[in-house]
Amino acid sequence: MVSYDIKDDVIRRRVQKIMEGFGERVQYSVFECLLTDSQYKTMKDKLQGIIDSSDSVRFYMLCDSCRKKIEYSGYNKILDDDQYFIV
């Protein structure tokens, strides 16, 4: 799971575009991503190349046990694929 808080509109749109290539938006600035180790490194490198010290991007690694405990209300779908892990 990746969340971000970006103040600059231009940088935020760039972050959104990068994230759309790696995961599914589940909230405005929150993405669920099913990634290999290599994909995770590529995504993180791309993001770190455009953000600055006033921005915040958080990467949450969820274990299988944690993924099974995800709850939600309203419309939503939980990504599930044993070949990848949620970042």
Give residue 84's pLDDT. 46
Count, in order, helices (H) and strands (E) of the chain. 3, 6
84 SS3 class: coil
What is the DSSP code (8-state) at residue 75?
Answer: S
- 75-86 pLDDT, tens digit per residue, is 666 555 544 445
Q: Is the pLDDT of residue 29 over 70?
A: yes
Q: String of b and e for 35-63 (b: at least 16 CB within 10 Å)? A: beeebbeebbebbeebbeeebebeeeeee
Query: Between residues 28 and 72, which one has the greater pLDDT?
Result: 28
Residues 2-86, CATH architecture: 2-Layer Sandwich (3.30)
Mean pLDDT across 30-52: 95
**Average pLDDT in the chain:** 87
